[in-house]
Structure 1
Amino acid sequence: MAVPTPHVLALPLPTQGHVIPLMELSHCLVEHGIKVTFVNTQHNHDLILASLHLSKSEHGSSLGGVDMVSLPDGLADGDDRKDLALLTQSFSDAMPGELEKLIGRVHESESESGAYKLTWIIADASMAWAFPVAKRLGLRAAAFNPLSVAMFATRIRIPELIRDGVVDEKGRPKRRGTFRLAPGMPPMRATELSWNCAGDPSGQPAILDFILRNNAATPLAEAVVTNSVQELEPGAMALFPDVLTVGPLLSDSQDKPVASFWAEDATCAAWLDAQPAGSVVYVAFGSFAIFDRAQLVELAEALALTSRPFLWVVRPDSASEEWVEDLRRRAGPRGRVVGWCPQQLVLAHPSTACFLSHCGWNSTLEGLVNGLPFLSWPYFTDQFLDRGYICDVWRTGLQVAGETTGTLVGREVIRAKVEELLGDAEIKARALALRDVARRAVADGGSSRRNLTRFVDLVRGSISDLASP
């Protein structure tokens, strides 16, 4: 009989910053002849279809050859899905049973057709509840870490942080100042560990418990695949040398949508084309960050004071239309304020000079691979650690705000930081050197390319026993 095509289920943590890199990995697997079914929550599935102007009835939709299906996350329409404690508790309760039903339906369909064979689940490392489900149903499992290897190490090493007196048994800060898990890793503060800066402090116990439950299930995964570059994180890689770094995972074609939750403003490219080379300040704070009106005004005035063109992403859910119109007025003729944009295209454009960013890991890699210097303004979770890489380890950027988060940063401070960054030739030179490191990793013979091949071979090998005699 003919050998079936290998088939994997890809299951991201249901947030934008985790969906995008797993979708990019899924595109890579499809290019290697592997069938991928991408499992979003119903809420996110609907957002993605709407952003692409597809009908919500198209539950069998395909993005660049990646099949899309959905499962309920257990939350009602009016619930706050940016409340991480609420979200993680809800999907941890609701989704395991739904995933088991989905796998049953897939197995039934494949037994009839014989064309495909589902043998793997690739789940976000923060969705490790899926690994016991996979093992119980006879599937193999891989963990996908869309964050830095350093962040993976920080979470796995929680027992050592408790033992060394960095945090107490409940994960709360005990030590002042900075510490490093290993030489070459970024300096960290206990107050900025991901579970201590994940939104409302009342949710901290639930977030820490969620991380510990994921850690306990992670050993069920046969491989940990990470969106990073081993040469960029030698300190963290020394702690976890078996992690397969396959990054930067970046889409290289408009035919491979990255599953954005908001429609991208298609006019950004033409606007950038009209700007001088190396002139534009790009400003974007990801899918979670929220600034109050006073801070938005200070930022708008600071950008205007630089007398440079700027492109500023203000998400539809982060400011009222009245606020946005006020920001556009303040931006004047040199500034452009949009709701969402094709970020990889913007960062690769020759007109873009620097990136004022929240330092999410996707944004960090996307800016890095284009040789851009950063102005770092982290908001929560892993973003403070990423700032440590940018400002302290790689030295490819400057920090905008001080150590105290949540305080108003004035327009003159922001303007001065922009000018300092763009006037620093050494920062720019280091950024270009790291760009070359990242690009070599994904080129033929590079470390990330080799690791991706190893992972593809692992997935393909799972059906080798089904070959015809």
Structure 2
Amino acid sequence: MGTPHFLLIPYPILGHVNPLIHLSQILAKHGCKITFLNTEFSHKRLNTTGVGLDNLKGSGIRFVTLPDGLCPEDDRTDQKKVALSIKTTMPSVLPRLIQDVNALDVNNKITCIVVTLSMAWALKVGHSLGIKRALLWPASATSLALCDFIPRLIHDGIIDSFGIPVKRQEIQISPNMPIIDTENFPWRGNDKVQFDHLVQEMQTMKLGEWWLCNSTYDLEPAMFSISPRLLPIGPLMASDDSNYKSSYWEEDTTCMEWLDQQQPQSVVYVSFGSLAVMDPNQFKELALGLDLIDKPFVWVIRPSNDNKVNVNAYPHFHGSKGKIISWAPQKKILNHPSLACFVSHCGWNSTVEGVCGGIPFLCWPFSKDQLVNKSYICNVWKVGVGLDKDEHGIISKDEIRKKVEQLLEDEDIKARSLNLKELTMNNIAKGGESSKNLDRFMNWAMQ
């Protein structure tokens, strides 16, 4: 039995890159050899943020790149275009890259490929080369199960071949699983091309002998009985001694000194992740809502393409009690004693980070799996509340103020949040369930 050598290949968005980087750091600490493959474009962006991938050089992680097949001027916010280009250009060049990596250390060749969603083609390459294969699913185990059940949902007449619910209803795909509104399926909003891509991905992903999840038995107990290949190894966290800032944008760390000056449990943190886009009217309403709340706040407004945030574009917004930043050291913020609640889009990585901070949620989901995650936060774990839209489909400033006040007065939610934090963090302690699963995975990769 030699040392396992992992080749990790994320789809080039932060919600996929970061969990895979965290997994790489953990595997490297256990003495595994790590080669991490980014697209050239993504790698460059991750290194322009001042404290990017170069800071991981001493950690035993080696970075390699391949082109994504697009031209420099192509719009890489068009995920359909990126996924298709990768799928048509990278499979033919990956075997050569594996050969080159293996030639550098013939006694320590790549033994296992780990990919995220939309990179399942690499599992085919691994299969043809006789290399072990695994998937790291970047969302919840529940959304993985839902996507895996698509053929059954079509067969049972719950959705059509476009992924659209035949009628709105609530279903339960297995006992103990939360009831899911068919409007909230993770592929909601996908067109036929994206839906077919997902169905094909789920088939190809079956070449992965393990489906690793950034989750725990406590967070989604029913899910892990569905498939023996599902293995919870979460919560995946950046190690505290890591200098790596996992972002395409420069983090604004001045907010930490500002947080130090605030009262305990007083600050409202607002962040909608790296992809969500908000309608301008809704954006204004949020700004006015933050003004109405008599609390300090940290609001993350991602840079636009020209990298400037122009708050003056919102003339009625005073923002005097708050701090607006372009990108946040989120894990540090969520663990800061002055934090009171997290206004979140409920992306899975943010959800797990909020849970691990013991912070109550105000849920503002936009799309995909975020609606399912919201139902866990509000209905299953009961550590947050949702926001309701008015008749124009807008979440009003008064609704924002009302729900923040309701959340901050709810001692039961605060207590449950702290309890869930403890349960979740216990999984990665020595002897915890996720730690044991990770050992199982590494031992399998060694054989």
- Equivalent position SS for 1:126: coil
Deviation sequence 1:272-306 (CA, Å, 0-9, x none): 11111101100000011111222111111111111
Q: Which residue of 2 is the match for residue 156 of structure 1? A: 148
Q: Which residue of 2 is the match for residue 128 of structure 1? A: 120
Q: Offset at 1:262?
A: 1.2
Letter matched to residue 66 of structure 1: I
Q: 1:449 to 1:320 in 2, by over 3 A?
A: closer
Letter matched to residue 127 of structure 1: M
Alpha-carbon distance in structure 1 between the residues aligned to 2:40 and 2:390: 38
- Equivalent position SS for 2:163: coil
Q: Offset at 1:92?
A: 1.1
Letter matched to residue 22 of structure 2: E
Q: Offset at 1:329?
A: 8.2
Q: 1:438 to 1:403 in 2, by over 3 A?
A: farther
Alpha-carbon distance in structure 1 between the residues aligned to 2:50 and 2:251: 9
Q: Which residue of 2 is the match for residue 306 of structure 1? A: 293
1:173 aligns with 2:165: yes
- Equivalent position SS for 1:195: coil
Q: Which residue of 2 is the match for residue 32 of structure 1? A: 30
CA contact (8 A) 2:51 2:244 kept: no
Kindly report which structure 2 residues correspond to 1:319-338, keeping only aligned pairs within 5 A, or say none.
321=308, 323-326=310-313, 330-338=317-325
Select which of 175, 182, 193 maps to 2:174.
Answer: 182
Select which of 77, 83, 86 maps to 2:78.
Answer: 83
Q: Offset at 1:221?
A: 1.5
Q: 1:79 to 1:401 in 2, by over 3 A?
A: farther
CA contact (8 A) 1:27 1:256 kept: no
Deviation sequence 1:244-283 (CA, Å, 0-9, x none): 1010001132425253111111212111111111011000
Alpha-carbon distance in structure 1 between the residues aligned to 2:402 and 2:413: 16
Select which of 399, 415, 422 maps to 1:429.
Answer: 415
Select which of 54, 58, 62 maps to 1:67.
Answer: 62
Q: Which residue of 1 is the match for residue 445 of structure 2? A: 459
TM-score (norm 1): 0.90
Q: Offset at 1:61?
A: 7.2
Letter matched to residue 356 of structure 1: V
- Equivalent position SS for 1:375: strand
Q: 1:368 to 1:328 in 2, by over 3 A?
A: farther
Select which of 338, 342, 348 maps to 2:329.
Answer: 342
- Equivalent position SS for 2:4: strand
- Equivalent position SS for 1:298: helix
Deviation sequence 1:408-466 (CA, Å, 0-9, x none): 221111111111111111111221121111011111221111111111212223xxxxx
Q: Which residue of 1 is the match for residue 96 of structure 2? A: 101
Alpha-carbon distance in structure 2 between the residues aligned to 1:308 and 1:250: 29
CA contact (8 A) 1:283 1:311 kept: yes
Alpha-carbon distance in structure 1 between the residues aligned to 2:20 and 2:442: 15
Q: 422-431 or 310-319, which moves further after superposition? A: 310-319
- Equivalent position SS for 1:127: coil
Letter matched to residue 81 of structure 2: L
CA contact (8 A) 1:123 1:143 kept: yes
TM-score (norm 2): 0.94
Alpha-carbon distance in structure 1 between the residues aligned to 2:410 and 2:346: 20
Q: Which residue of 2 is the match for residue 383 of structure 1? A: 370
CA contact (8 A) 1:358 1:377 kept: yes
Q: Which residue of 2 is the match for residue 208 of structure 1? A: 195
Select which of 383, 398, 409 maps to 1:412.
Answer: 398
Q: 230-239 or 448-457, which moves further after superposition? A: 230-239
Q: Which residue of 2 is the match for residue 465 of structure 1? A: none
- Equivalent position SS for 2:357: coil
Deviation sequence 1:375-432 (CA, Å, 0-9, x none): 111111111111111111111111113499x922211111111111111111112211
- Equivalent position SS for 1:159: helix
Alpha-carbon distance in structure 2 between the residues aligned to 1:136 and 1:430: 48
Q: Tell me how many residue pairs correspond in the alignment.
A: 447
Q: Offset at 1:355?
A: 0.4
Alpha-carbon distance in structure 2 between the residues aligned to 1:71 and 1:20: 18
- Equivalent position SS for 2:158: coil
Letter matched to residue 70 of structure 1: T
RMSD: 2.3
1:7 aligns with 2:5: yes
Gap runs ≥5 in structure 1: 199-203, 462-469
Q: 1:194 to 1:416 in 2, by over 3 A?
A: same
Q: Offset at 1:241?
A: 4.2
Q: Offset at 1:5?
A: 4.1
